[in-house]
């Protein structure tokens, strides 16, 4: 559960949130344990529900909760462990240490968890590993980066890059900080930055991370995504996903993106199996839920895709991507009124270029072609905030029946190695593009199945 910030300075909220994520990562290295992701536990930060009820919702048998107080160069962390199935207190501990002892505290808590649950503990070296830092300053900058990265907006991702890069400068041996910079650039490729600008930077930081620590699961996840979205190397992508999951079986993002990759390859039964595991590890996360919804939609399981979107929106009513997926899904099924309602809701939450592109697709699919063309013209004139992917523009042209213009933009996407181009292999709104033999030839050149 999220650590409560009881520091004198409320601005130290980032420290409590970052430490929560680090605890989850460390305890994930205990053999035999399945640890729920922070993106599913953070929504309970200001909870009013009892722990037993939260445990049922997350399907978690054991809960760890506590608080952190940071003052000057000292930190006080209190933790208690509860059997959520029987509402039984298992143990509690309080640590009053110097800031540089934070990693030793994490290791001790992981050991106590393993002992209480009678499961096998990895060696001390692997619990701490080479992914952390001896620099209190670098660690503090890293936690600020994690705080902004998890907020997810383009502005916050930019701030996260700043903090992670400062952490790397403070400690050039901080492997996880390098991996996080790479992850940031991967996250914004095709949305607020072109692939040709974002991925070379991602690869530079990724190479540094792996040179420092080849056993870093997060780095292998980013390597897999880079292989998909920029290198178009499907074999490397699959090996890297499997390596990430082997190194950290509780890394929900690795499972979710691996499922997305498998769906893109047309391996739908495997994709659904892996997506189900991602959902088990991260059942309340809007991001993981949207990936699982997308995978089901690509596999033709529309009812399950819709069910997952609705579940996300029950918990996170202002998650624009879920409204967008629901809008396009409804439009594909000729449910015009529902589709437009969801698209309008999406835009009321976020007016970014990505979502304007989805809105244009919805209008084109339900027959409102003039409205779709208005948005397309605005995209072409860079009216909206963010990067306009040539794939998005190409799909809109195809949906408007202008195949030559659609193909020309897809060629642009191919030459720019656009991050979204591999998705068109199985993305449902790209069906009309895949009826064009010229576009199919592009996919063949990418060696997509």
pLDDT in tens, 233-245: 999 999 999 999 9
CA-based torsion, 242, 165, 205, 388: positive or negative = positive
The more confidently predicted of residues 31 and 313 is 313
Most confident option among 140-144, 218-222, 315-319: 218-222
Average pLDDT of the chain, as a whole number: 88
- Give 346-353's long-range contacts (Cβ < 8 A, gap of 24+): 346/320, 346/321, 349/318, 349/319, 349/320, 349/323, 350/320, 351/384, 351/385, 352/154, 352/191, 352/192, 352/384, 352/385, 352/386, 353/191, 353/379, 353/384, 353/385, 353/386, 353/387, 353/388, 353/392
**What pLDDT, on the 0 to 100 scale, is given for residue 433?**
96
CATH of domain 250-311: 1.25.40
DSSP alpha helices (H): ranges in 333-448? 336-349, 353-365, 369-380, 390-399, 403-416, 437-445
**d(C-alpha 146, C-alpha 116), whole Å:** 29
Q: How confident is the model at residue 343 (pLDDT cuts 50, 70, 90)?
A: very high
Check pLDDT > 50 for residue 226.
Answer: yes
Pick the CATH number of 4-129 from 3.40.50, 3.10.50, 3.30.160, 3.30.460: 3.40.50
Rg of the chain over Cα atoms, rounded to whole angstroms, equals: 22
Average pLDDT, integer, range 278-286: 89
The more confidently predicted of residues 58 and 336 is 336
Q: How confident is the model at residue 31 (pLDDT cuts 50, 70, 90)?
A: low
pTM summary value: 0.85
| pLDDT single digits (tens) 170-187 | 999 999 999 999 999 988
Residues spanned by CATH 3.40.50 within the chain?
A: 4-129
Cα 93 to Cα 39, 80, 96, 117, distances in angstroms: 25, 6, 10, 16
Instruction: Determine what percent of the chain is predicted with pLDDT higher than 70.
Output: 96
CA 214 to chain centre: 21
DSSP 45-114: TT--S-HHHHHHHHT-SEEEEEEEEEETTEEEEEEEEEETTTTEEEEEEEEEEEGGGHHHHHHHHHHHHH
Domain covering 130-233, topology:
1.25.40
Check pLDDT > 80 for residue 154.
Answer: no
The more confidently predicted of residues 193 and 273 is 273
Residues spanned by CATH 1.25.40.10 within the chain?
A: 130-233
Check pLDDT > 80 for residue 431.
Answer: yes
């Amino acid at each position: 559960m999220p650590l409560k910030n009881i520091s004198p300075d409320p601005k130290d909220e980032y420290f409590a949130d970052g430490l929560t994520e680090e605890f989850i990562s460390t305890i994930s290295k205990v053999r035999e344990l399945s640890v729920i992701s922070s993106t599913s536990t953070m929504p309970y930060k200001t909870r009013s529900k009892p722990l037993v009820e939260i445990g049922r919702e997350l399907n978690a048998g054991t809960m760890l909760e506590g608080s952190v107080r940071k003052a000057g160069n000292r930190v006080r962390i209190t933790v208690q462990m509860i059997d959520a199935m029987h509402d039984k207190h298992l143990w509690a501990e309080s640590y009053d240490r110097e800031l540089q002892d934070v990693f030793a505290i994490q290791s001790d808590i992981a050991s106590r968890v393993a002992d209480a649950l009678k499961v096998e503990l990895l060696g001390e070296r692997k619990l701490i590993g080479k992914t952390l830092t001896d620099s209190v300053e670098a660690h503090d900058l890293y936690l600020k980066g994690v705080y902004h990265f998890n907020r997810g907006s383009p502005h916050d991702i930019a701030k996260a890059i700043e903090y992670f890069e400062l952490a790397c400068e403070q400690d050039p041996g901080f492997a996880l900080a390098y991996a996080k910079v790479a992850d940031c650039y991967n996250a914004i490729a095709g949305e607020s930055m072109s692939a040709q600008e974002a991925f070379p930077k991602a690869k530079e930081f990724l190479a540094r991370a792996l040179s420092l620590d080849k056993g870093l699961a997060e780095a292998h996840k980013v390597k897999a995504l880079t292989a998909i979205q920029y290198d178009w190397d499907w074999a490397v992508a699959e090996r890297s996903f499997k390596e990430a999951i082997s190194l950290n079986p509780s890394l929900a993002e690795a499972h979710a993106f691996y499922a997305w990759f498998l769906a893109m390859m047309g391996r739908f039964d495997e994709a659904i199996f892996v997506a189900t595991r991602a959902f088990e590890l991260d059942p309340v996360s809007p991001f993981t839920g949207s990936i699982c919804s997308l995978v089901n939609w690509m596999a033709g399981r529309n009812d399950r895709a819709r069910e997952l979107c609705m579940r996300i929106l029950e918990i996170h009513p202002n998650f624009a991507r879920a409204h967008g997926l629901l809008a396009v899904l409804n439009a594909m099924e000729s449910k015009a009124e529902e589709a437009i309602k969801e698209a309008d809701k999406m835009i009321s939450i976020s007016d970014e270029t990505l979502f304007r592109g989805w809105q244009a697709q919805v209008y084109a699919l339900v027959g409102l072609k003039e409205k779709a063309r208005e948005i397309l013209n605005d995209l072409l004139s860079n009216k909206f905030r963010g990067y306009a992917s040539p794939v998005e523009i190409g799909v809109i042209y195809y949906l408007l029946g202008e195949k030559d213009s659609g193909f020309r933009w897809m060629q642009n996407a191919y030459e720019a190695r656009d991050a979204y181009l591999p998705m068109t292999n199985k993305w449902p709104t790209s069906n009309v593009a895949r009826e064009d033999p010229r576009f199919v030839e592009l996919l063949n050149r990418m060696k997509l199945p």
